[in-house]
Amino acid sequence: GQQVMQIPQYQHVQEGEDFTTYCNSSTTLSNIQWYKQRPGGHPVFLIQLVKSGEVKKQKRLTFQFGEAKKNSSLHITATQTTDVGTYFCAGYAAGNKLTFGGGTRVLVKP
Amino acid sequence: GAGVSQSPRYKVTKRGQDVALRCDPISGHVSLYWYRQALGQGPEFLTYFNYEAQQDKSGLPNDRFSAERPEGSISTLTIQRTEQRDSAMYRCASSLAAGTYPYEQYFGPGTRLTVT
């Protein structure tokens, strides 16, 4: 079955620094979504990417969908304490079934 | 407006008992999804509905798990003869519609199930 993997599992970052988290699928995706889950909270939708090579920005967050539609990345610049949480990518291969990755847990050192 | 609500928020049950978890989606949302999320893991798909029709139940672990959405709104996930391995956070999500590309999903707060 479809598998979605995220690396790294944990990201310790100094406040103000940049980092990137990666998402890889075992199958070609029709689209990919990113969610953020704060500690003790529930996943909250961030963005959806549909087109091959698509890049979207939300303030300090930049999302990219790979050319082969099998991978994606999230780059955060000038990390803030509000960025703490777990970031999940989730992909659709077929139908309406969303497969989530294991997430990247982001910890910010002030 | 109101988001997705789930009840109960916490459920402790003894092994062998049946439990029913309820999800009340955002009003007007066509699609409703059930997930199970283990600590430190991503949500794992269980099943989903469009209106009252169950479209995909491939994620249900075994026949002790069932779900219904009889009137196309509130949904119930039932686990019969619970086992300790069923302990997890059960999350419900809803989305406006299911078109060419799926819409964003809105998650509820979850039900934390503990089987003793």
Phi and psi angles of residue B86, each rounded to the nearest 5 degrees, phi first: -80, -10
Q: B44 to chain A, minimum CA–CA distance in Å?
A: 7
Q: Is it the case that residue A85 has pLDDT exceeding 90?
A: yes
Q: Indicate the pLDDT class of residue A56, thresholds 50, 70 and 90.
A: very high
- In sequence order, which residues have a C-beta less than 8 Å from that of residue A69 and are 6 or more positions away? A28, A29, A30, A32, A52
Closest residue on chain B to A96 (Cα): B102
Q: Is it the case that residue B97 has pLDDT exceeding 90?
A: no
Question: Are β-strands A104-109 and A10-14 bridged in parallel, bridged antiparallel, or unpaired?
Answer: parallel
Q: Contacts of residue B56 in chain A, CB cutoff 8 Å?
A: 95-97
Token duo for residue B30: 């066509």
Q: What is the pLDDT of residues B35-92, one digit of tens each?
A: 999 999 999 999 999 999 999 999 999 999 999 999 999 999 999 999 999 999 999 9
Q: Contacts of residue A30 in chain B, CB cutoff 8 Å?
A: 101
B53 close to B104: Cβ distance less than 8 angstroms: no
Q: How far apart are CA A36 and CA A104, in angstroms?
A: 10
Q: How far apart are CA A2 and CA A47, in angstroms?
A: 21
The verdict on a CB contact (< 8 Å) between B31 and A30 is no
Q: What is the pLDDT of residues A11-23, one digit of tens each?
A: 999 999 999 999 9
